[in-house]
Chains A and B, each alone.
Chain A
Amino acid sequence: MKKILFILLVILIAGFNTAGFSKGIELTGAGATFPYPLYSKMFNEYHKLTGTKVNYQAIGSGGGIRQLRAKTVDFGASDAFVNDEGLKKFASPIVHIPMTAGAVVVAYNLPGNPQLKLTPEVLADIFLGKIKKWNDKRIAELNKNVQLPSLPIMVAHRSDGSGTTFIFTDYLSKVSKEWKEKVGKGKSVNWPVGLGGKGNQGVAGLVKNMPGSIGYVELAYAIQNNMPYATLKNKAGNFVKPSLESVSKAANIDLPDDMRVSLTNTGASYGYPISGFTWILVYQNLEDGKLSEEKAKELVNLLKWMLTEGQKYCEPLHYAPLSETAKKKALAILKKVKYRGKALLK
C-alpha cells in the first residue's frame, strides 16, 4: 500500500512538473556561426525572462538556409542575404530580419605594430598579388610616417566557407573591377594568392605567426585578440578606423524595405566600408514553416525583444547594435509576419 502511494505521489509530482514546464515553449533555429555568441547570450536572457527555450545550432549560414527550406527549424540565420535566385527555391515567401551588424577588419603583422592606412585600390591589389612587398611605393605614400620593412607580403585568407569571406570579397568586388572579373564574391572563392586558415582563429594564427602577413578577420575577433588592424578609406573619402560605432554608422543610408542589403562600401560619410548585417530568416506566413500558432506567437515576441531590449547585449560582446533607422525597418518587417493571415505583432 505504501509503495502504491509512493508511486502515485511520484506521478503526481512529475505531472505537476511537466504542467509547469509546458508553459515554456521551445523554439529551434540554425545557421550562422558569426552571431552565435551574441545569440546565445540573448536566448539565455530571454529564457530567464519568459521561460521560452531557444535551441540554436551554429551550423553555418548555408546549413541554416537549407534547414529552413526543409522546415526542420523554426528560424534560420545567415550572414549573407538570400539572393533572388535562392528565394525562388523556397516554396513560400521568407523575410530577412537584421539583428546586428558586424565588420571585417584587415589585420597584419609588421615589426613595431604600426597603424596602417589603406585605400580600397591598394587593398585589392595586395589580395590580387600585384603588390608584393610592404615597402611598395603605393603603401608608403599612404603611410609616410611609418617605416615600412622590405618584407614580402603574405596573404592569409579563410579556407572554410564563411560569411566573413563573403563580406570581404563583396567589398573587394565593389572597389576593384579586376577583382570582380578575376575572383568575384562568395563564401569561398578561388584565391589568386596566399594561404588559407580554418576559421577566424586559423587566419589569426597565420597572421600572428608570420611576419609580413596580412589577413582579414571579424572585428570582434580582432578586438578580443588585440590584433592591429588597418584604417580604410571609405567611399566618401574619409579614412575610418573600424569600431562598433563606425560599423553602426555604415548603415546610415537609404535602406530598402526588405533589408536585404549589403553594407559594404556604402556612401555613409563616417561608416566603415567592410560592414554587413546578419539576419534571422523566418517564413512570412509562419504556418508555412509548420509552426503551431503558439510557437509562431512566441517566435515573433522573441524577435521583437531581440530588436529592442536585446540590443543592449550587442556592445559588450563587440557586435554593432542596429542603427535607429535599421531597427525601425526591421520592426516593420516583423509586423508583416503572419499566422493564417493574422498579424502577430501589435
Chain B
Amino acid sequence: MLRDRFFKFGLKLAGGLIALLIFSIFVSLVIASIPSIKEFGLSFVFGKEWNPVEEHFSALPFIIGTLLTSVLALAISLPFSLAIAFFSGEFSKKGLISSLIAYATDLLAGIPSVIYGFWGLFFLVPLIRKLELSFNIPPYGVGIFTASLVLSIMIIPYASSMARDVIALVPSDLKEAGFALGSTRLEVIKKVIFPYSVSGIFAGLLLAFGRAIGETMAVTMVIGNANRIPHSLFEPANTLASVIANEFTEATSDIHLSSLIYLGLILFIITFFINYIGNMIIERMSVNGRS
C-alpha cells in the first residue's frame, strides 16, 4: 500500500513539474516582454513594421509568415504521410518494403534541421528558381513556397508514424465484420478504419503542425528573411522563430530585446491555442466522444 502511494506521488510530481515548467516559461516570457507590451500594446500584433533603427516593432508579417508556411507544409505533407500510414499500418504491416518505408520515415525525423536547410538551399532553391523563371515571376528561389516544401518533408514522420500506429490498432473483428458484409478493402478503409482512427491521425497532424510552427534553422535558410507581408507564395518572408534566431544575439537596445521576446510569447500563445483547439477536435472525433 505504502509503495503504491509513493508510486502515485512520484507520478504526480513528475507530471506536476512539467506543468509548472510550462507555466513558468510562460510567466518569464511575459515578464521579459513587459517593456515591449507597455510600449506597443496590442498594436504589436497587428502592425506591419519591424524597424530596429527607429525602434518601432510589430509582428504581423511574421505571424502571417509562420502560419502560411506551416499550413502549406501540412497541406503538402498530408497526402504523403497518410499514404505512408495506410500502407504500413494496414496494407503491409510486415515485410521488407514496409519496414524499409518505416525505417526511412523515422530516419527523416532524425536528420538535423540545418541539414534540411542546406539541402533546401543548394538543391531545392535552384530548382524553384527555374520553375519561377518559367512562370515569369521574380526568380528569388527562396521564399514561402520553398520553406513550406522543406518543412513538409521534415514533418512527414511526425504525422505518419502516429497515424500508422493507430491504424494498426484498429480491432481486426471490426474490419472482418466489414469484409463479411461484402465491403471491398477501400470501403473498409473508408467506412471502418478511417472513422475509427481519425482522432489519432489528427493528433499526429497536430504534432506535425506544432513542429512546423516552431522550426527555425531550416526555415531561416530558405525563406529569404524579408520582414514584409508576402503578396504571393513565391515571395520571401519571415517567421516568428526565424526573426528571433536572427536578431537575438545582436539586439543591444532593451526594447529590441524585449520585442523579440514578445515575438516568442506570441509564438507560445499560438502554439497553445492550436493545441487546445486541436485537442477539442480530437475529443469530438474520437469513437468515445461521438457516441
Q: B183 interface residue, CB < 8 Å from A?
A: no
Q: B44 interface residue, CB < 8 Å from A?
A: no
- With the chains together, A206 CA to B225 CA distance in Å? 12
Our pick among A60, A190, A195 for the contact of B140 (Cβ within 8 Å) is A195
Our pick among B53, B121, B225 for the contact of A205 (Cβ within 8 Å) is B121
| In contact, B52 and A152 (Cβ under 8 angstroms) | no
Q: Closest CB of chain B to A159's CB: distance in Å?
A: 3
Chain B's interface: helix, strand, loop or mixed, by majority?
A: loop
Please indicate the chain B residues that have their CB under 8 angstroms from the CB of A195 in the complex. 140, 142, 224-226, 236
| In contact, A185 and B226 (Cβ under 8 angstroms) | no
Please indicate the chain B residues that have their CB under 8 angstroms from the CB of A316 in the complex. none
Q: B141 interface residue, CB < 8 Å from A?
A: yes
| In contact, B225 and A159 (Cβ under 8 angstroms) | yes
Chain B residue with the shortest CB-CB distance to A190: B51
Interface residues of B in 235-260 (CB under 8 A from A): 236, 238, 242, 245-252
Please indicate the chain B residues that have their CB under 8 angstroms from the CB of A205 in the complex. 121
**Given A195-B224, A195-B225, A205-B121, residue A190 in contact with residue B52 (CB < 8 A):** yes
A-B contact count (CB 8 A): 96
Q: A187 interface residue, CB < 8 Å from B?
A: yes
Q: A131 interface residue, CB < 8 Å from B?
A: no
Q: A184 interface residue, CB < 8 Å from B?
A: yes
Q: A114 interface residue, CB < 8 Å from B?
A: no
Please indicate the chain A residues that have their CB under 8 angstroms from the CB of B126 in the complex. 209
Please indicate the chain B residues that have their CB under 8 angstroms from the CB of A202 in the complex. 221
Please indicate the chain B residues that have their CB under 8 angstroms from the CB of A197 in the complex. 225
Q: A59 interface residue, CB < 8 Å from B?
A: yes
| In contact, B249 and A60 (Cβ under 8 angstroms) | yes
Please indicate the chain A residues that have their CB under 8 angstroms from the CB of B140 in the complex. 154, 195, 210
**Given A190-B50, A210-B129, residue A160 in contact with residue B249 (CB < 8 A):** yes
| In contact, A210 and B225 (Cβ under 8 angstroms) | no
- With the chains together, A161 CA to B250 CA distance in Å? 5
| In contact, B141 and A210 (Cβ under 8 angstroms) | yes
By the criterion of a CB under 8 Å from any partner CB, how many residues of chain A are at the interface? 34
Q: A196 interface residue, CB < 8 Å from B?
A: yes
| In contact, B51 and A189 (Cβ under 8 angstroms) | yes
Our pick among A159, A187, A189 for the contact of B220 (Cβ within 8 Å) is A159
Q: Closest CB of chain B to A208's CB: distance in Å?
A: 10
Q: Closest CB of chain B to A184's CB: distance in Å?
A: 4
| In contact, B226 and A188 (Cβ under 8 angstroms) | no
| In contact, B227 and A198 (Cβ under 8 angstroms) | no
Q: B165 interface residue, CB < 8 Å from A?
A: no
Interface residues of B in 41-80 (CB under 8 A from A): 49-54
Q: A65 interface residue, CB < 8 Å from B?
A: yes
Q: B125 interface residue, CB < 8 Å from A?
A: yes
| In contact, A187 and B226 (Cβ under 8 angstroms) | no
| In contact, A189 and B226 (Cβ under 8 angstroms) | no
- With the chains together, A291 CA to B126 CA distance in Å? 53
Q: B110 interface residue, CB < 8 Å from A?
A: no
Please indicate the chain B residues that have their CB under 8 angstroms from the CB of A36 in the complex. none
Interface residues of A (CB under 8 A from B): 59-63, 65-66, 86, 152, 154, 159-163, 183-191, 194-198, 202, 205-206, 209-210
A-B contacts, 18 of them at CB < 8 A, read A61-B250, A62-B249, A62-B250, A154-B140, A159-B242, A159-B246, A161-B247, A161-B250, A187-B52, A187-B252, A188-B246, A189-B51, A190-B53, A190-B227, A196-B224, A198-B245, A209-B122, A209-B125
